[in-house]
Structure 1
Amino acid sequence: EPLMTRLFEHRFRGGALDGHAFGNLFIASLVGVTGDLEQAVKETSKVLNIRGRVLPTTVRDVVLVADLEDGRVVEGESQIPAARGRIRRVRLRPPEIAPLPEVLAAIAAADLILLGPGSLYTSVIPNLLVRGVADAIRAARGLRVYVCNVMTQPGETDGFTAADHVRALEAHAGPGLFTHVLVNTQAPQNRALLARYAAEGSHPVAPALAELEAMGLVAVGAPLVSEEEVLRHDPVRLARAVLDLWVAATGRPRRPRRRPRRARRAPAARRSPTGTAPGTHRPGETVPP
């Protein structure tokens, strides 16, 4: 539901919770209640009535650390963008973190693997730093697609093009991670929204399609942005673009949508001379074949 989606994506501004996402706090609270991250994710899926499975990359306690170009070292997902420094690299502490075996199995069996959209350095890349995950994605036989963000994120991707996003991914996880890049090519037109984002240091991500192609990737551009209240991916457009890309790349036809069956109206029952409605029978009467 739109309200629940907005709620779980909401980030607090100011105070002790500044920068924290409600969704993360909700899961953290469930971890406190259940005592287990994997169980907390399962319970979240039940609460939100999620179809499919949601798997945490790892259930180990880990700290995200960023090395900034100015020499500073910043710890914590919310603290990294707040430092407002150009990020040189992010890493996990401790570095050798084992993934859930189910995660590697799901990657190997997947027909389609999507990375993103999401915060590049604090959401997408950290999953690739868990031991074996990047190699599993590279070895997967399914289609591997990176969905690039539509807007830059202050303190993380200031001034980044789509090609810069890919370079950052490859710097952390190595080349050959994905085969396709899906980027937004629709320039937002809502001036009020653009001005609000610009005041916070966020701007549309330039598609850089030619540069992506020069990097050996299949770059697919499409109008993907939604301009209702916030500038982000339109979920319907994005889903359609992903399906179209998958069909074009694999040659498999898209499954037709199932239309709900309409209940047939029973004909009006007219009384017959024998006292029963047409198509009905008295108890004990033989029904003709």
Structure 2
Amino acid sequence: MSRSGKLKKVVAFGGGTGLSTLLRGLKSHHIDLTAVVSVADDGGSSGRLLDEYDIPPPGDIRQVMAALSDVEPLIERMFQYRFSSSEDLKGHSLGNLMLAAMTDITGDFARAIEQMSRVLNIKGKVLPAANQRITLHAELEDGTIVTGESKIPVYGRKIRKVYMSPQEAEPLPETVDTIMGADLLVFGPGSLYTSILPTILVPAIREAVLACKAKKIYIGNLTTQAGETYRYTASEHVQALYDHAGEAFLDAVLLNGADIAALLGKKEQTEPPWSVINDLENIQRLVPDVIVKNMALVNGKNVMHDSEKVANLLMDYIDSAIKTD
């Protein structure tokens, strides 16, 4: 609880697996939770639905809704189910099709999310970064312009900047109001250029993030991402956020302190995935509060954030921040 006795209001930005992992941990806490989700995805099932129904891509929204759902595990599995045999349905997830159908029924993508959220009994709110389809573009270091979120990582060249069209895309009024009333804004973990940054490329969202009084924290990725952040240090991730926002805005950054190679049962890293290097001297110049904690675990052959541990660390941070304000 905040000092006023009301639930702490936490808004998380991003998309895909990174945001979903974070939300699975946060939903167990007694907070007012909102996810602002990228709608820049144009690959796979989402891409096909974009073309066929002219709606914002539902893929990241679907993953986030599943992460926040409070239904029987079998119902969540059904919502996430991806068809593999039928030629017409192959590659589509049932949840994507349900969101497309609900959009057609209600005539509005945001309304469809609201109605499906009730069906799935989700904890918190899910808001699209824009209530329309947007296209993500990247300018690479050699000047090449790449169009389409799914195509950007394929080129394997350093990204100078990303931008979207239409540039005048608007969020829901509720999204801006939610950001302005938040206690904590959380960015990451997740794909820097294709999941996190697309949420703050929407002008009204970026302005609200910069103007609001909430504490703002970035959760660093565990490893760099081929095609997006190859060999990026922690400070380079943060600098990219600042460059696209137009100014420094973070109060804190949460970085992983665990030895990734050791977690994977190796003496040292000789091949990807490469750990994000915590260049503390550089990042301390960029962010007032730098927190380094072990927050990784191994799932099969993959290393991922420990959602419960990350959520607990965020709750500790906001408790401390509110007490000292």
| Same fold per superposition (TM over 0.5) | yes
Query: Mapping of 1:170-249 within 5 angstroms?
Result: 170-188=242-260, 189-191=262-264, 201-229=272-300, 230-249=302-321
Name which structure has the greater RCO, CA cutoff 8 Å, separation 6+: 2
2:147 to 50, 55, 75: 75
Is 1:124 the equivalent of 2:196?
A: yes
TM-score, normalised by the number of residues in structure 1? 0.74
Return the alpha-carbon distance in structure 2 between the equivalents of residues 81 and 137 of structure 1.
Answer: 27
Report the alpha carbon displacement of residue 210 of structure 1 after superposing the two structures with TM.
2.5
Aligned to 2:56: none
SS of the aligned residue for 1:152 comes to coil
Percent identity over the alignment is 32
Q: How many residues align?
A: 239
Aligned to 1:61: 133
Return the alpha-carbon distance in structure 2 between the equivalents of residues 65 and 242 of structure 1.
Answer: 32
Structure 2 CA distance for partners of 1:180 and 1:37, relative to 1, 3 Å: same
> RMSD of aligned C-alpha atoms?
2.9
TM-score, normalised by the number of residues in structure 2? 0.66
Return the alpha-carbon distance in structure 2 between the equivalents of residues 194 and 135 of structure 1.
Answer: 45
1:29 to 97, 100, 117: 97
**Higher share of residues assigned strand:** 2
Contact residue 158 and residue 202 of structure 1 kept, 8 A: no
Deviations 1:202-229 (A, max 9, x none): 3111122222112243111111111122
Structure 2 CA distance for partners of 1:52 and 1:187, relative to 1, 3 Å: same
Worse overlay, 205-214 or 160-169: 205-214
Worse overlay, 34-43 or 87-96: 34-43
Structure 2 CA distance for partners of 1:69 and 1:47, relative to 1, 3 Å: farther
Return the alpha-carbon distance in structure 2 between the equivalents of residues 115 and 46 of structure 1.
Answer: 26
SS of the aligned residue for 2:299 comes to coil
Structure 2 CA distance for partners of 1:19 and 1:157, relative to 1, 3 Å: farther
Worse overlay, 123-132 or 216-225: 216-225
Deviations 1:35-69 (A, max 9, x none): 33213323443454320111111112210011111
Which consecutive segments of 4 or more residues in structure 1 shift more than 4 A?
Answer: 18-28, 192-195
SS of the aligned residue for 1:204 comes to coil
Contact residue 134 and residue 177 of structure 1 kept, 8 A: no
Return the alpha-carbon distance in structure 2 between the equivalents of residues 142 and 31 of structure 1.
Answer: 31
Aligned to 2:214: 142
One-letter amino acid matched to 2:140: L
Report the alpha carbon displacement of residue 70 of structure 1 after superposing the two structures with TM.
2.2
Worse overlay, 112-121 or 70-79: 70-79
Return the alpha-carbon distance in structure 1 between the equivalents of residues 149 and 267 of structure 2.
Answer: 26
Contact residue 115 and residue 124 of structure 1 kept, 8 A: yes
Which runs of no fewer than 5 residues in structure 2 stay unpaired?
Answer: 1-16, 22-42, 48-58, 64-91
One-letter amino acid matched to 1:168: A
Report the alpha carbon displacement of residue 187 of structure 1 after superposing the two structures with TM.
1.1
Q: Which structure would you say has the larger Rg?
A: 1
Contact residue 182 and residue 219 of structure 1 kept, 8 A: yes
Return the alpha-carbon distance in structure 1 between the equivalents of residues 160 and 44 of structure 2.
Answer: 26
Structure 2 CA distance for partners of 1:84 and 1:194, relative to 1, 3 Å: farther
Aligned to 1:86: 158
Worse overlay, 17-26 or 130-139: 17-26
